[in-house]
Amino acid sequence: MGRLRDVKTLGTLLLVTIFMGCTPKPQEIVYGTDGCHFCRMTIVDAQHAAQLVTKKGKAFKFDAIECMVNHLKDVDSNSVALYLCNHYNEPTDLIDATQATFLISKEIPSPMGEFLTAFSSKNLAEEVQKDHEGIIYSWNQLLDKFNR
């Protein structure tokens, strides 16, 4: 009876390990070392980096949100589990890009020259917009803009 319990326990642990290994999660971006999947530039700007994680757990890192958005033109959206981006107020922290608010302002440069910056809330974006002007976008509005 003790051996059967050990086999069941081992089987349960194996299943948990398999399922945990398949859970899509972001990878750490190593600034100054990692390269952008889209443009191949080294990722150095902690306020504008982004990451896409597939349902199979493969992470694609980008030096700018605009690189990720442009890369999406060649990706089946059904294969994506996470769209992530850094945000202006807390560089290096990844937030859910689909829930973020974006500001395109000529006064806030981004690595690829689109002047695109993410914020964790619309209120934060509006506060920065007061000082830096520009246009605010939701995730879907941003995708529409880049896919024209």
Could you report the per-residue pLDDT of 81-105, keeping only the tens digit for each?
Answer: 999 999 999 999 999 999 999 999 9
Q: Are 87 and 125 in contact (CB under 8 A)?
A: no
Give the model's pLDDT for residue 17. 46
Give percent above pLDDT 90 in the chain: 81
Please check the confidence at residue 66 and state whether its pLDDT lies above 70.
yes
Domain ranges of the chain: 26-146
Q: What's the pLDDT tens digit per position in 11-56?
A: 554 444 445 556 899 999 999 999 999 999 999 999 999 999 999 9
Token reading at 46: 């902690």
Distance CA 135, CA 105 (A): 7
> Among 36, 88, 26, which residue's Cα sits nearest to residue 61?
36
pTM summary value: 0.83
Q: What integer is the mean pLDDT of 114-122?
A: 97
Q: Name the residue with tokens 């081992």.
A: 10
Please check the confidence at residue 1 and state whether its pLDDT lies above 80.
no
